[in-house]
Amino acid sequence: MGMITNVSEYEKIAKEKLPKMVYDYYASGAEDQWTLKENERAFSRILFRPRILIDVSKIDVRTTVLGFNISMPIMIAPTAMQKMAHPEGEFATARAASAADTIMTLSSWATSSVEEVASTGPGIRFFQLYVYKDRNLVAQLVKRAEIAGFKAIALTVDTPRLGRREADIKNRFTLPSNLTLKNFENIDLGKMDKTNDSGLASYVAGQTDQSLSWKDVKWLQTITHLPILLKGVITAEDAQLAVQYGAAGIIVSNHGARQLDYVPATIMALEEVVKATRGIIPVFLDGGVRRGTDVFKALALGASGVFVSKIDTYISEARYCECGTFKIFCNLFNNLRTNLILV
């Protein structure tokens, strides 16, 4: 294996190494996958107008997110069930994020619990939350995240049901029998039943709350002192409501193009959302980021930072796991600095 220089090359390794069902789960999108392609393609339509003869001898990409100092405006988005890709799963991701001095977001549907991830050592971590029908369960999970030292809640707001992911249907996707959704293991919700289509889709239909609405953002604020980011906003109207309902920030996201197909790429929705918030709360971008060039474009359009998804699960071989994730962050960091210097 030659030198790996970018995220796309790790993705090629993952396709070779991972079981088809697992790779397809991570890599595929909804229906025709138009938005999946567009999430990356849209970045290529944004061009630079570089200026010259400016002193760029001192470049600092450190930033602050919700009051926390991090080394770069690049953070890890939540990716579910990471131990399908590697036995270390979320543990390796947590350690790599800590080593890179940035933020990791842990999925509700992680194969490691909030307590287990916290035990890997120090680090700034957010917790991504799906709201289940059982609100007592949700309150308990949020409290566990608080006690484990997580610093914010990223409330996913675009999943009243799962999008039609045809690769998962064809593969009859389900969580491998040796793994569980660890945050729900002790209440018999950690496993998925095998079905004739997608086991995850059936799980979501049975557990997540389709009545979730804006009033529940207020409810969530009553059960936690943690700041609440809304993940899944792509319109100005919803951005204005997010401000009105007291969100601490917005993550512009189309769920990795895995929910509703034929919605805009997140980079195309970003500017609209940024303008609607009028600088009252920070806006972050999630989706399609593969290079520091993409990070630069998001920052130029008003993002306070970006969340990068799937990179941890594309590190599929043992020798590439934690080390590979850290190296990717170093690559993105250096690529971003280069762009800042040249533009």
| pTM greater than 0.85 | yes
Ranges of beta strands (E only) in 43-169 are 63-65, 68-70, 74-76, 103-106, 124-129, 152-156
Choosing from 255, 290, 291, 310, the catalytic residue is 255
State yes or no: pLDDT of 319 exceeds 50.
Answer: no
Distance CA 55, CA 267 (A): 29
Q: How many residues does the chain have?
A: 343
State yes or no: pLDDT of 1 exceeds 70.
Answer: no
Helix H or strand E encompassing 83: none
pLDDT score for 194: 79
pLDDT-above-70 percentage for the chain: 95
Q: What is the pLDDT of residues 25-62, one digit of tens each?
A: 999 999 999 999 999 999 999 999 999 999 999 999 99
Distance CA 103, CA 124 (A): 5
Q: Which of 70, 85, 99 is nearest to 311 (CA)?
A: 85
State yes or no: pLDDT of 276 exceeds 80.
Answer: yes
Distance CA 233, CA 253 (A): 6
Q: What is the pLDDT of residues 124-162, one digit of tens each?
A: 999 999 999 999 999 999 999 999 999 999 999 999 999
pLDDT-above-90 percentage for the chain: 78
Distance CA 70, CA 73 (A): 7
| Whether 225 is catalytic | no
Q: For residue 324, what pLDDT band results from cuts at 50, 70 and 90?
A: low
